């Protein structure tokens, strides 16, 4: 593996050769001409590097410039930015990326044979186009409703529009914004401005050109990775060679000085920066040739490697190796690195070893200082409000390039990336360390070579596991469980189909945005479903959140009914949902057994769902006599069989999920391959989307009703319940019930079921968890795009929803009706009564957490939870049996052997030593108070324990946080004592 890493050793700029070598000066290419023609505006960094053994009389004092030059300010949005290497892009599908805070979608237009970069937002309802596909005609198709766009961003097909109606797809509102893009050095670049004046920007300004990447005598391995720290920190690290022997110790072999001052072999480095201007700077490293920063992204270095002296009789050409790093600003606290390491020797390595082999070693290097850089960025922001020069001490020439970059950033770049107000000044929350270090989402999914290797290794793992079990004889052939998609798939398939309708004029919805003062919808004067009764356990309390209210649900066996209380014990506000039902059938707090009054909500069970009224005011004690929850008679009708109730929590808000439930037009696209829909003759795409005739009627304070031809009726019972009744024939009826419950901003809960008067036997055979698996697969298939859509709506603002969406067809009628109801009666959004800041949503979790079903469904569903536990037990049993059978032969041969030392090894050591055993009186120490004169306790005038010494390792430092202070604990072997320093 050492040979495989030779290209990476120089990659961090640290000398690797045992002798100092001077290399020929680089000949600049035309793309570097701005640096050649512009005179230097910065002083040459002159000083004497610090040394461990030498006392400095005139230390290196870099001049950190903080003033901008008005006439030479760097324009962050008048530059080309790299997106991805071509080798990491798949022409068969679109790719979503974020650069400079802009969400873009990259896709291959096979009609024009070139890569395209679009705004990653469908003009219909802001769904991400990157979740879509390339259709059979080479157009970019939105996965949500099937709208198709050509390489210029023009909409070419709207499945929901009647083919003989007006050409609504030609509207400018149906177009997607396209960015200028080009390929240079096998890397895709884009210009971050969609203004038409930049359409031909490539003629005036092209991306930087790196000659080695196009030189046939060189071979290069490229890669990319996303990082959880910002662009500035990434660029600094790439320009800093002095950290290599320390941060990458044991991973990279570095040149060792003749006299080592420490284990790692760090030494002074002579580095100089010159020709610093708006376009970047040049740098000279005496041991490693020239390097160059081409603003804003490229750090480019060139060096010559010593000739191979293994065969002196045959002189070989000078071996050369380059280094190209491209640091891409993604968003505050996030960046992307694209790297390439071209060389003109050892071409055979790339022919023998696949790219993923190189990436293992390169990612290992990147891992080794990732966490340090993540913490460093936060420390700089905390300690000096982002003022780097105040927070950092850089006294040696080894820091010359870092200082040069900060001078460029302060003088020309405005001190930081110009996000144009898209973000606040705060960094995103710091994730757990294991998530920070996870390579799968930051690299593997974006690298075809590593992704293929990952899949292949997983297949090998499964094959070996199966083979071992078969050889051991644990597993036999079992009967296949015939599972089929139950009524949900069939129903949703039917709901997305319709007969063709002729429209004389395009559908032009009237979006109402004004509220009616005398008819405003009262969010707290309605019943809300909490959870299906089948998912409640009478033996314990259940904690739930509805409308931002924390409630506890429990079974009162004395009154034989479900109760809903405020989930807060009046004693010290401990959650009652963590308590238990005591022996007398009372709800007991786990924190204390004291009893007091708890706020109780009115509640009722109807249609096998527990509902509650979100007010504990005594005036609502008998609210049930005045107003009941919506009643669905088919659910209680014995002639109908019910498919299991289910419920799931979602990381998206009430409004977006309710829209999705009401929208049948998305089924053929977002759930393609999961839900089979009948394909009509004459459809214009693979999925078979067609115009739907949906009519909305009777929009009032309490909701609305609608019809969908040929035989479907829908009702929205405000604020939660959506009911759909479908007639499949003279005697076949199917009913869907969805209850969408507001939990908090960006979070909601769905309770679902369906009933039908046919196929009763099958529903009795199939367990609930089988049905839930099927339904959850459907929910999963558009969950991610709904989460993105909600954030896009929030970015636009809740008010101008109708201005940003383009909803020109009758298929969108229920969505428009719901938004009209929400704006006219509901205040435009859920009324949280000031409990939340509704202008912000919770941070977007990682995709694997977003798609996780365990905490969102399994733990709350007895059927799925039981199946999960059963499968876990089965897994453990099989593992134990396999281990037992494997070790059986070995154990049998040693049954007669016994250890002669068993008796001595089983003795208990009962003697306990002590300093003194003759204590006649209890120890009564006088504890002196460290209180301030006014008797106020001073938290910072007291000792704080950190760790037991037995839990500290003298061989390494330990980072801890005490009283909000980050400290590092380490063993000073020179003074033979533990030290506690500030961890910075």
Please report, for the chain, the start and end positions of each structural domain, with discontinuous segments joined by +: 3-74+208-307+319-449, 81-204, 489-495+633-886, 528-629, 949-982
Distance CA 717, CA 708 (A): 17
CATH code linked to domain 489-495+633-886 = 3.90.380.10
pLDDT of 494 over the 60 cut: no
**Taking Cα atoms as reference points, which of 846, 755, 737 lies closest to residue 440?**
846
pLDDT of 279 over the 60 cut: yes
Q: Which residues contact 932 (CB under 8 A, 6 or more apart)?
A: 938, 941
CATH 3.90.180.10 fits domain 528-629: no
CATH code linked to domain 81-204 = 2.102.10.10
Comparing 3-74+208-307+319-449 with 489-495+633-886, is the CATH topology the same? yes
What is the predicted pLDDT for the residue at 316? 60
pLDDT of 423 over the 50 cut: yes
What is the predicted pLDDT for the residue at 506? 46
Higher pLDDT, 27 or 743: 743
Distance CA 579, CA 594 (A): 12
Band of pLDDT at residue 141, cut at 50, 70 and 90? very high
Average pLDDT over residues 93-111: 96
Percent with pLDDT over 90 in the chain: 28
What's the mean pLDDT when you consider all of the chain?
Answer: 78
Distance CA 832, CA 581 (A): 31
475-482 contacts at long range (C-beta below 8 A, 24 or more positions apart): 475/878
What is the predicted pLDDT for the residue at 579? 79
Ramachandran angles phi, psi of 647, nearest 5°:
-150, 155
Per-residue model confidence as pLDDT tens digits over 567-612: 877 765 678 787 788 888 887 776 554 445 777 788 888 888 888 8
- Report the range of poorest mean pLDDT among 233-237, 877-881, 916-920: 916-920
What is the predicted pLDDT for the residue at 49? 32
Distance CA 856, CA 649 (A): 5
- Where is mean pLDDT largest: 254-263, 350-359, 870-879, 893-902? 350-359
pLDDT of 59 over the 50 cut: no
What is the predicted pLDDT for the residue at 452? 94
Average pLDDT over residues 397-426: 89
**Taking Cα atoms as reference points, which of 325, 316, 304, 408 lies closest to residue 26?**
304
Residue holding tokens 């006219």?
Answer: 824
Residue 165 class from Cβ within 10 Å (0-12 exposed, 13-18 middle, 19+ buried)? middle
pLDDT of 689 over the 50 cut: yes
Average pLDDT over residues 454-478: 74
Percent with pLDDT over 70 in the chain: 75
Average pLDDT over residues 765-773: 84
- Where is mean pLDDT largest: 264-268, 427-431, 814-818? 814-818
Residue 823 class from Cβ within 10 Å (0-12 exposed, 13-18 middle, 19+ buried)? buried
Average pLDDT over residues 347-358: 89
CB burial string 740-754: b at 16+ within 10 A, e below: bbbbbbbbbbbbbbb
What is the predicted pLDDT for the residue at 517? 55
What is the predicted pLDDT for the residue at 136? 92
- Report the range of poorest mean pLDDT among 67-81, 288-302, 509-523, 801-815: 509-523
Residue 118 class from Cβ within 10 Å (0-12 exposed, 13-18 middle, 19+ buried)? buried
How far, CA to CA in Å, does 286 sit from each of 237, 341, 495, 836? 19, 20, 72, 58
pLDDT of 660 over the 80 cut: yes
Higher pLDDT, 98 or 26: 98
What is the predicted pLDDT for the residue at 197? 93
Task: Tell me the pairing of strands 178-179 and 155-157.
Answer: unpaired
What is the predicted pLDDT for the residue at 37? 34
Q: Which residues contact 979 (CB under 8 A, 6 or more apart)?
A: 969, 970, 971, 972
Per-residue model confidence as pLDDT tens digits over 302-347: 755 555 555 555 556 678 888 899 999 999 999 999 999 998 888 8
Band of pLDDT at residue 265, cut at 50, 70 and 90? low
What DSSP string describes 189-234? Answer: EE-S---GGGTTHHHH------GGGG-TT-B--EEEEEESS-HHHH
| pTM tops 0.85, yes or no | no
Band of pLDDT at residue 36, cut at 50, 70 and 90? very low
Distance CA 398, CA 60 (A): 10
What is the predicted pLDDT for the residue at 624? 87
Task: Tell me the pairing of strands 609-612 and 528-532.
Answer: antiparallel
What is the predicted pLDDT for the residue at 964? 67
Band of pLDDT at residue 477, cut at 50, 70 and 90? very low
Per-residue model confidence as pLDDT tens digits over 189-244: 999 999 999 999 999 999 999 998 998 888 888 999 999 999 999 999 999 888 88
Band of pLDDT at residue 176, cut at 50, 70 and 90? very high
What is the predicted pLDDT for the residue at 15? 39
What is the predicted pLDDT for the residue at 953? 82
Residue holding tokens 């957490």?
Answer: 849
What is the predicted pLDDT for the residue at 779? 92
Per-residue model confidence as pLDDT tens digits over 796-842: 765 566 677 888 888 899 999 999 998 888 888 888 888 776 667 88
What is the predicted pLDDT for the residue at 591? 55
CATH code linked to domain 3-74+208-307+319-449 = 3.90.380.10
């Amino acid at each position: 593996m050492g040979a495989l890493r030779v290209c990476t050793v120089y990659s961090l700029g640290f000398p690797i050769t045992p002798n100092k070598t001077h290399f020929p000066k680089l000949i600049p290419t035309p793309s570097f001409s701005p640096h050649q023609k512009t005179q230097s505006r910065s002083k040459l960094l002159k000083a004497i590097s610090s040394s461990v053994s030498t006392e400095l009389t005139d230390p290196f004092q870099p001049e950190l410039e903080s003033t901008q030059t008005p006439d030479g300010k760097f324009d962050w949005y008048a530059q080309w930015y790299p997106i991805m290497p071509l080798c990491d892009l798949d022409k068969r599908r679109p790719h979503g990326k974020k650069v400079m805070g802009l969400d873009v979608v990259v896709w291959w237009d096979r009609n024009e044979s070139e890569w395209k970069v679009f705004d990653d937002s469908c003009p219909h309802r802001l769904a991400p186009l990157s979740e879509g596909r390339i259709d059979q005609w080479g157009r970019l198709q939105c996965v949500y409703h099937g709208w198709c766009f050509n390489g210029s961003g023009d909409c070419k097909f709207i499945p929901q529009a009647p083919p003989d109606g007006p050409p609504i797809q030609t509207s400018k509102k149906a177009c997607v914004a396209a960015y200028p893009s080009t390929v240079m050095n096998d890397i895709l670049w884009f210009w971050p401005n969609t203004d038409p004046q930049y359409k031909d920007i490539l003629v005036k300004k092209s991306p930087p050109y790196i000659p080695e990447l196009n030189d046939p005598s060189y071979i290069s391995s490229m890669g990319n990775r996303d990082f959880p720290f910002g662009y500035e920190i990434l660029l600094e690290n790439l320009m800093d060679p002095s950290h290599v022997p320390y941060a990458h110790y044991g991973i990279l072999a570095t040149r060792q000085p003749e006299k080592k001052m420490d284990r790692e072999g760090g030494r002074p480095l002579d580095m100089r920066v010159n020709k610093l201007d708006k376009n970047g700077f040049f740098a000279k490293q005496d041991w490693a040739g020239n390097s160059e920063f081409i603003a804003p992204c490229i750090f480019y270095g060139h060096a010559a490697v010593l000739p191979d002296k293994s065969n002196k009789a045959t002189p070989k050409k000078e071996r050369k190796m380059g280094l190209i790093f491209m640091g891409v600003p993604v968003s505050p606290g996030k960046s992307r690195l694209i790297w390439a390491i071209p060389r003109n020797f050892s071409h055979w390595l790339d022919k023998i070893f696949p790219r993923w082999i190189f990436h293992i070693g390169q990612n290992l290097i990147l891992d080794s200082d990732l966490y340090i850089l993540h913490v460093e960025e936060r420390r700089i922001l905390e300690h000096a409000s982002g003022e780097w020069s105040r927070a950092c001490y850089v006294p040696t020439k080894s820091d010359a390039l870092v200082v040069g970059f900060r001078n460029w950033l302060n003088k020309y770049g405005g001190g930081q990336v110009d996000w144009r107000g898209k973000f606040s000044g705060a960094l995103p929350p710091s994730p757990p360390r294991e998530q920070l270090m996870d390579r799968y989402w930051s690299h593997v999914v974006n690298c075809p070579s590593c992704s293929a290797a990952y899949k292949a290794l997983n297949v090998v793992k499964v094959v070996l596991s199966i083979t071992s079990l078969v050889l051991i004889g644990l597993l036999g052939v079992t009967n296949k469980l015939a599972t089929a998609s139950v009524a949900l798939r069939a129903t949703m398939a039917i709901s997305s189909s319709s007969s063709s309708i002729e429209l004389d004029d395009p559908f032009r919805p009237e979006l109402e945005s004004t509220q009616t003062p005398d008819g405003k919808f009262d969010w707290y004067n309605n019943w809300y479903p909490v959870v299906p009764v089948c998912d409640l356990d009478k033996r314990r309390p259940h904690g739930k959140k509805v409308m931002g209210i924390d409630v506890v649900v429990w079974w009162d066996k004395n009154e034989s009914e479900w109760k809903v209380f405020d989930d807060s014990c009046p004693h010290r506000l401990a959650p009652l949902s963590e308590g238990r039902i005591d022996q007398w059938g009372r709800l007991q707090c786990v924190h204390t057994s004291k009893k007091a009054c708890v706020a109780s909500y009115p509640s009722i069970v109807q249609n096998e769902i527990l509902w509650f009224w979100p007010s504990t005011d005594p005036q609502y004690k008998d609210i049930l006599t005045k107003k009941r929850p919506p009643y669905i008679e088919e659910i209680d009708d014995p002639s109908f069989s019910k498919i299991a109730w289910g419920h799931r929590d979602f990381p998206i808000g009430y409004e977006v999920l309710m829209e999705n439930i009401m929208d049948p037009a998305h089924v053929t696209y977002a759930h393609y391959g999961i839900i089979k829909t009948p394909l009509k003759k004459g459809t214009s795409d693979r999925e078979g989307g067609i115009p739907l005739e949906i009519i909305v009627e009777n929009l009032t304070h309490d909701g609305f009703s609608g019809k969908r031809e040929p035989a479907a009726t829908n009702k929205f019972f405000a604020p939660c319940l959506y009911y759909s009744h479908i007639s499949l024939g003279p005697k076949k009826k199917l009913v869907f019930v969805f209850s969408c419950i507001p939990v908090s901003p960006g979070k909601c809960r769905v309770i679902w079921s369906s009933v039908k008067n046919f196929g009763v036997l099958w529903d009795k055979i199939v367990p609930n968890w089988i049905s839930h698996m099927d339904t959850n697969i459907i929910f999963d298939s558009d969950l991610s795009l709904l989460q993105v859509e909600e954030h896009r709506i929030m970015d636009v603002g809740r008010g101008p929803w109708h201005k940003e969406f383009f909803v020109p067809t009758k298929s969108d009628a229920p969505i428009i009706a719901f938004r009209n109801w929400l704006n006219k009666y509901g205040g435009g959004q859920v009324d949280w009564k000031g409990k939340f800041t509704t202008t912000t949503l919770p941070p977007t979790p990682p995709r694997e957490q977003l798609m996780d079903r365990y905490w969102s469904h399994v733990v709350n569903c007895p059927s799925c939870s039981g199946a999960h536990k059963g499968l876990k037990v089965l897994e453990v049993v099989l593992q134990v049996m396999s281990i037992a059978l494997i070790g059986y032969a070995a154990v049998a041969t040693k049954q007669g052997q016994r250890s002669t030392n068993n008796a001595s090894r089983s003795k208990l050591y009962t003697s306990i030593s002590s300093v003194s055993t003759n204590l006649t009186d209890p120890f009564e120490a006088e504890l002196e108070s460290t209180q301030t004169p006014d008797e106020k306790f001073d938290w910072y005038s007291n000792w704080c324990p950190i760790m037991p010494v037995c839990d500290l390792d003298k061989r390494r430092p330990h980072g801890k946080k005490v009283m909000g202070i980050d400290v590092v604990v380490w063993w000073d072997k020179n003074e033979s004592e533990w030290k506690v320093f500030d961890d910075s």
